[in-house]
Amino acid sequence: MAGYGTIALLRQELRVTGVLLVAMLSGWVFLVWAMVDGSHPLAKLMMPMSPAWSVANVLGVFAMWAIMMLAMMLPSAIPMILSFVNLSRQKHRGAHGWIFVGAYLLIWTVFSAFATLMQWVLQVTSLISPMMVSQSIWLTATLLMVVGLTQFTALKQACLRHCRTPMGYLLTEWKQGAYGAWRMGFKHGLYCLGCCWAMMGLLFVTGVMNLVWVAALTVVIIIEKIHPAGEKLGKYLGATLILFGIWKIAQLSVM
């Protein structure tokens, strides 16, 4: 019976992982398509050339951010999701894994709405170009230094500790039933947001649709949240961003 339970658990893990991978890959495929086929009407809606956005532009930009957040954030959440699924099975409770995932993604969907608003404000004030790249040295320097400084904050470190110990979080915060799954997924999403919200500001420096940098940020987030060397990497990255921000400001004095 123990062997059968192990096999069933493995199958469940593979099934959940497979669905998550399909979702992530679909998001990346969509983003690549939008970048390559920029002349398509849908792609144009997601990259408005004028700050006078239509309702369709708002929805298009929001969809772009929501899909990007799904593609970027799900990879680093897989260990927590699988831990939840496994623990649910061990406790012989109902399968509420997708409720947990839905609550987690809700946090990043709300963040996508905020990012859409920030993109519009920055475009209206001409601080970013229609291609969503910073046009202001002050904006670039500020974003670099803010992101760099957040790498050293107690909030960042506390949120990372949570993300690196999925089973510890679930055992101490476990709640039964569908509501419990929703609550735990939502709370995990908040911790994840606490880890990564500032990093998303770098997208306005390099370009929101610069998929090389989007992919690079995704890798950094995964390493920070999962790999044992993530804490050191985060601090090295923070120091580098701060120095780069100072260098950008120094450029103003020689212009």
Question: How high is the pLDDT of residue 96?
Answer: 81
Q: pLDDT tens digits, residue range 173-216?
A: 888 888 889 999 999 999 999 999 999 999 999 888 888 999 99
Give the C-alpha distances (Å, rounded to integers) separating 56 from 26, 43, 59, 134, 142: 22, 11, 5, 24, 31
Alpha-carbon gap, residue 65 to 73, rounded angstroms: 12
Question: How high is the pLDDT of residue 1?
Answer: 45
The share of the chain scoring above pLDDT 90, in percent, equals: 56
Give 101's pLDDT tier (boundaries 50, 70, 90): very high
Please check the confidence at residue 95 and state whether its pLDDT lies above 70. Answer: no
The answer to whether 134 and 204 are in contact (CB under 8 A) is yes
Question: How high is the pLDDT of residue 71?
Answer: 94
Query: How many domains does one find in the chain?
Result: 1
Please check the confidence at residue 10 and state whether its pLDDT lies above 80. Answer: no
Q: Which whole number is the average pLDDT over 33-43? A: 84
The answer to whether 81 and 105 are in contact (CB under 8 A) is no
Q: Which domain holds residue 23?
A: 2-253
Q: pLDDT tens digits, residue range 234-254?
A: 899 999 999 999 998 887 766
Give 8's pLDDT tier (boundaries 50, 70, 90): low
Q: Which whole number is the average pLDDT over 55-59? A: 94
The answer to whether 45 and 57 are in contact (CB under 8 A) is yes
- Residue for token pair 């997708």: 98
Q: pLDDT tens digits, residue range 126-177?
A: 999 887 889 999 999 999 999 999 999 999 989 998 888 888 888 888 888 8
